Amino acid sequence: MIALTLAEIAAVLDGELRLAADDTPETVVDGVVDTDSRVMEPGAIFVAKPGEVTDGHRFVGNAVDAGAVLAIVEHPVDVEVSQIVVADAVAALADLARAVVARVRAEGELRIVGITGSNGKTTTKNFLARILQDEGETVAPIKSYNNEVGAPLTMLRVTSSTRYLVSEFGAAGVGSIARLAGLVEPDVAVVLMVGLAHAGGFGGIEQTARAKAELVESARPGGTAVLNIDDPRVAAMRTVADARGLATVGFGQNPAAEVRASDLDVTASGTSAIVHVSGADLPLQLQVLGAHHISNALAAIAAAGVLGVAASDAIARLETVEVAERWRMQPMGNESVRIINDAYNASPDSMAAALRTLAQITGPGERTVAVLGAMSELGEAAGEEHDRIGLLAVRLNIQRIVVVGPEARRLFLSAIGEGSWDGEAVHMPDQDAAFEYLQTELRTGDRVLVKSSNSVGLRHLGDRLGELFS
């Protein structure tokens, strides 16, 4: 974080400053800011956030032992450290992020990109960060830091020398992206897609679209909206951009896209396409598996282009990315038994894309095996969407379908109903049972996809299989 005095921070947070014995209001702090006492280091600021399971105020002492010099708290704690008492620690975190980013922006050349979408946010964020890091100091979220806590924590990592901030915005409901993006007003607003991920919590896909459009509405005046025009709901956000006076750049396979891909090809070694931009036809060879990642790459190329990075340079940097993120189409195992661990998240769109990728990368004499868990947060659409994925797996001729957990049983029944009989589809009650089964079932030449929502935890089963066949 940038250097601020204790008095300045207290003023920003409208909080009560309680000084430790050796501090004054003019004491300067510039350390990392976090809600996790385990990642504190000398000079850090600890935000004591109440939680559903435990309360951060219990860990102020641990944070101080690890080096924290300031605690932001909702009530004073009996620990010798300067404290700023606020009404709401999470709101204070957002207020501090807004102030820090505004100061850096006013004093330097900071450019901000915001990314949202039902799928692909983290991969696109990683792609764009890889492109921009060769241009200047770039701050981007760790993992999927995209909520009311993670997004401000990322923002607070900017310093006076930061040139680019890439923010990823998830949505807990209508209004949440507006609150988060409103903290920084991005120069570039990237919307990837509107899908059924979390639709149950939004009340339907149209409400999901409304939530994603908040990023365009929150962009800085004179900024640019980068929109996936292959998705009609995202393409329709051009009208929002026009009303805001924003420039627009479209990406996708649609001929009208300013950054367009053609000739997509997926193999076990990666994904390729031709990128058409500014009159040039540029080959792209990603090491990352999956045709759906071409769209994420196009979004990153388009956003980087708005920031002045040549498409040829962007492509060269993207081609060095080996894994989009842990547990996202992550290759594991060995050449005999290849495991693709893609179980960090799952929606109907990403599940379908992963199954198609599995079918595409499996050659003659090899066998497709899909280990599938439930898709969460689909609301009333859950049953129908699990049915649809079961049907798709059979129609793609996935040769072994291993369904894990009671929440995914309907997917198994759908596969059976479509004709996946005689052991081609099996249902396992839990991960341990699935692991025992797969130890004896998997054989040389198998290509294995592990896919589920994060809450189901099949990523850990994927890790176990990857280690077994390493």
pLDDT at 470: 85
Q: Which residue has the higher pLDDT, 174 or 44?
A: 44
pLDDT at 256: 95
pLDDT (tens digit per residue) in 2-13: 999 999 999 999
Q: What's the Cα-to-Cα distance from 243 to each of 208, 256, 261, 430, rounded to whole Å?
A: 20, 21, 28, 51
Dihedral sign for Cα atoms in the order 66, 68, 69, 73: negative
Helices then strands, each counted (H, E), the chain: 17, 22
- Feature table: binding site: 117-123
Q: What is the number of other CB atoms lying within 10 angstroms of the CB of residue 135?
A: 16
| Residue 10 domain-assigned (yes or no) | yes
pLDDT above 90: percentage of residues in the chain: 83
CATH number at residue 52: 3.40.1390.10
The mean pLDDT value for 465-469 works out to 94
Q: Is the pLDDT of residue 201 over 80?
A: no
Q: Domain check: are 102 and 250 in the same one?
A: yes
The mean pLDDT value for 164-187 works out to 93
Backbone angles phi, psi at 456, to 5 degrees: -75, -30
Beta strands in 86-239 (DSSP E): 111-116, 138-139, 164-168, 188-191, 224-228
Q: Is the pLDDT of residue 308 over 80?
A: yes
pLDDT at 204: 77
Q: Domain check: are 96 and 213 in the same one?
A: yes
Burial state string for 258-286 with b = 16 or more CB within 10 A and e = fewer than 16? bbbbeebebebebbbbebbbeeeebebeb
pLDDT at 283: 98
| Residue 428 domain-assigned (yes or no) | yes
Q: What is the number of other CB atoms lying within 10 angstroms of the CB of residue 238?
A: 16
Question: Which of 75, 6, 62 lies closest to 34 in space, CA to CA?
Answer: 62
Confidence category of residue 203, pLDDT binned at 50, 70, 90: low
| Residue 323 domain-assigned (yes or no) | no
Beta strands in 65-214 (DSSP E): 70-73, 82-85, 111-116, 138-139, 164-168, 188-191
pLDDT (tens digit per residue) in 278-287: 999 999 999 9
CATH number at residue 193: 3.40.1190.10
Residue 28: give the domain boundaries: 4-87
Q: Domain check: are 35 and 72 in the same one?
A: yes
From 273, 292, 318, the end of a domain falls on: 318
CA quadruple 355, 357, 359, 363: dihedral, nearest 10? -150
Q: Domain check: are 232 and 380 in the same one?
A: no
pLDDT (tens digit per residue) in 28-85: 999 999 999 999 999 999 999 998 788 999 999 999 999 999 999 999 999 999 999 9
The mean pLDDT value for 376-393 works out to 92
CATH number at residue 398: 3.90.190.20
pLDDT at 171: 78
Q: What is the number of other CB atoms lying within 10 angstroms of the CB of residue 217?
A: 18
pLDDT at 345: 83
Q: Domain check: are 345 and 447 in the same one?
A: yes
| Residue 324 domain-assigned (yes or no) | no
pLDDT at 346: 87
| Residue 100 domain-assigned (yes or no) | yes
Q: Domain check: are 142 and 251 in the same one?
A: yes
- Feature table: binding site for ATP: 117-123
Q: Is the pLDDT of residue 205 over 60?
A: yes
Q: In the block, which residue shows the tokens 């190329």?
A: 301
The mean pLDDT value for 161-173 works out to 91
Q: Is the pLDDT of residue 200 over 60?
A: no
Least confident interval from 211-215, 240-244, 275-279, 323-327: 323-327
pLDDT at 310: 98
From 56, 87, 118, the end of a domain falls on: 87
The Cα 465–Cα 55 span in angstroms is: 36
The mean pLDDT value for 430-447 works out to 96
Q: Domain check: are 403 and 444 in the same one?
A: yes
The mean pLDDT value for 206-227 works out to 95
Q: Which residue has the higher pLDDT, 143 or 260?
A: 260
Q: Domain check: are 361 and 421 in the same one?
A: yes
Q: Domain check: are 312 and 386 in the same one?
A: no
Q: Is the pLDDT of residue 16 over 70?
A: yes
Q: Domain check: are 343 and 444 in the same one?
A: yes
Q: Domain check: are 105 and 246 in the same one?
A: yes
pLDDT (tens digit per residue) in 323-337: 777 778 898 989 899
Tokens of 55: 């309360």
pLDDT at 199: 54
| Residue 152 domain-assigned (yes or no) | yes
The Cα 403–Cα 434 span in angstroms is: 8
The mean pLDDT value for 454-461 works out to 92
Helix 382-395 / helix 409-418 crossing angle, nearest 10 deg: 40
pLDDT at 198: 52
pTM of the model: 0.86
Confidence category of residue 425, pLDDT binned at 50, 70, 90: very high
From 269, 286, 318, the end of a domain falls on: 318
Q: Domain check: are 281 and 347 in the same one?
A: no
Q: Total structural domains in the chain?
A: 3
| Residue 325 domain-assigned (yes or no) | no
Q: Is the pLDDT of residue 120 over 70?
A: yes
The Cα 397–Cα 420 span in angstroms is: 9
| Residue 219 domain-assigned (yes or no) | yes
